[in-house]
Structure 1
Amino acid sequence: MRPERKKRRPPIEAGSPVWLFDLDNTLHRASHAIFPAINSAMTQYIIDALQVEHEEADWLRVSYTQRYGATLLGLARHHPVDPHDFLKVVHTFPDLRTMLRCERGLARLIAALPGRKMVLTNGPQAYAHAVLAELRIERLFERVIAVEHMRDRRGWRAKPDPAMLRKAMRDANVRLADAILVEDTRGHLKSYKRLGLRTVWIVGHLPRRARADGRPAQLPGTGRPHYVDWRIRSLKSLRLGNRSARLKGRQTCSRSASMTRP
């Protein structure tokens, strides 16, 4: 007797969907070159600003991200660091175009989705707009909600802060029940699922995990946590409503976007 096949999850549907796209490792593969460059720049900035050794600077960078959602928030709270200078220094790349990797036909995939589209990123505004411009998808989003827009009178905030998201959605005239968050970071999805958002976990851009036995590296994103409504490998699945397709090729985004620009 053949085993019963698992039913495929239906495509996400909504009356008036509002898509909230994370930027890095969601709209492009930041793990390829950009994340390593940002991490290195952050560590060096902390070394120079706080006069600490490399090991301590690296520990501060990682621990502040884990504790507050962004290294910037920890530095702003505990050290005399200029947040705007920090954001500018660690997110400026003269060779940004060559560092980007994305899915084939990215502009068509985003444009085909019904409803409003926004970017919600813990990165700075200038960096987000630069990436979207290189990907040639900037015009597809009605607004970019970057870390500078997440501040309130009490200070800097970032994902996955619930109060920040509520305010950002009020400012954008978006009901939380209409929002669909597409994100690679599970902690952000878990936090915002409690607010009533629908959640999409994209895993196709995440780095592979090394195996201890020397076999080929394991693909990330095994299983689907309870707070994830839909787990996909490719943005293509948002449109097709089928199981995620494995990304093919590692072309540069500038080339891909020029081939598929509407």
Structure 2
Amino acid sequence: MTNQPDPLSFAHVTDWVFDLDNTLYPHHSNLFSQIDMKMTGYVADLLKLSRADARIVQKQFYKEYGTTLKGLMDRYDIDSDDFLQKVHDIDYSWLVPDPSLTIALRQLPGRKFIFTNGDRGHAERAARQLGVLDEFDDIFDIVAAQLMPKPERATYDRFLDLYKIDPGCSVMFEDLARNLIEPKALGMKTVLIVPHNFEPTFSEIWERDPGQTDHVDYVTDNLSAFLSAILPGQVDRQVPAQVEE
């Protein structure tokens, strides 16, 4: 499932911005499911709820605040460091190194960033297991965002200002369409990553952002193949047809 990318339309890009979870690694890795379960357990312990009831609260916070953490901080003033440490205490061996992604990232011209609602430690461990950590210039995490998660406009502004990024010369890769609304409005090119052979039952329908695809320029279920198709060397192979005027 891929919109055929035109290498020429990415020739101006100098900054490449990637979400982490379910973007740099595929959803079928099930890594984020571990984090999701840890968050449910955290809510259950904090509020003395059954796991079933805790999950309802967790998802309500996620929908209302953008992250479970933001909801817990606003409602219960929890220690963000404690939360981040506990929910990211997971087994990263589930991730399979992706040499093709490493090669594609290495060949992209310009700077590469990870922009995540998770914390830096989680991003580093996941990217290291994938074999791509060294390909990135920096990681912008939820702490750098002052605990204000995507899709808050202020967080994107903070990210762009910190690295002096021109939105018109950048592209963002995300697995949630709602997190591409602000980048698109700012002038960034946008690419939505969906699970391989995506099915509507993949998760709760609101988590897949129905009706928000106006903010998406491209959709792909294979990040490595997409990046390989837009590498500078591909431009000469796809010369656009001349149009008489």
Name which of structure 1's ranges 37-46 and 50-59 shifts more when overlaid on structure 2. 50-59
Please state how far the C-alpha of 1:32 moved relative to its aligned partner.
3.0
Number of residue pairs matched by the alignment = 222
Q: With structure 2 as the length reference, what TM-score do the two structures score?
A: 0.82
2:73 is matched with 76
Please state how far the C-alpha of 1:68 moved relative to its aligned partner.
1.6
Partner SS for 1:149: coil
2:153 is matched with 162
Q: Deviations over 1:103-142 (max 9, x none)?
A: 5512101112122100001111111011111112111110
Q: C-alpha separation between the residues in 2 aligned to 1:179 and 1:119? A: 13
Judge conservation of contact 2:96–2:129 (CA < 8 Å) in 1. Answer: no
Q: C-alpha separation between the residues in 1 aligned to 2:211 and 2:47? A: 41
1:129 is matched with 124
Alignment of 1:48-63 (within 5 A): 48-63=45-60
1:109 is matched with 104
Q: C-alpha separation between the residues in 2 aligned to 1:172 and 1:44? A: 36
1:100 to 95, 99, 111: 95
Does residue 119 of structure 1 match 2:110? no
Please state how far the C-alpha of 1:55 moved relative to its aligned partner.
2.8
More helix per residue: 1 or 2?
Answer: 2
Does residue 189 of structure 1 match 2:180? yes
Please state how far the C-alpha of 1:88 moved relative to its aligned partner.
0.6
Please state how far the C-alpha of 1:56 moved relative to its aligned partner.
2.6
Please state how far the C-alpha of 1:205 moved relative to its aligned partner.
5.0
Q: With structure 1 as the length reference, what TM-score do the two structures score?
A: 0.77
1:3 is matched with none
Does residue 85 of structure 1 match 2:82? yes
Letter in 1 for 2:125: A
Does residue 229 of structure 1 match 2:217? yes
Question: Percent of pairs identical after alignment?
Answer: 28
Judge conservation of contact 1:31–1:206 (CA < 8 Å) in 2. Answer: no
Q: Deviations over 1:163-215 (max 9, x none)?
A: 1111111111111222200111111112321121110112245863349xxxx
Q: C-alpha separation between the residues in 1 aligned to 2:114 and 2:88? A: 17
Q: C-alpha separation between the residues in 2 aligned to 1:141 and 1:173? A: 16
Measured at CA, do residues 207 and 65 of structure 1 come closer, stay the same or move farther in structure 2, by a change above 3 Å? Answer: farther
Q: CA RMSD in A?
A: 2.6
Q: Deviations over 1:1-44 (max 9, x none)?
A: xxxxxx95523324342110011111102443212211111111
1:10 is matched with 6
Give structure 1 regions of 4+ aligned residues with deviation exceeding 6 angstroms: 220-224
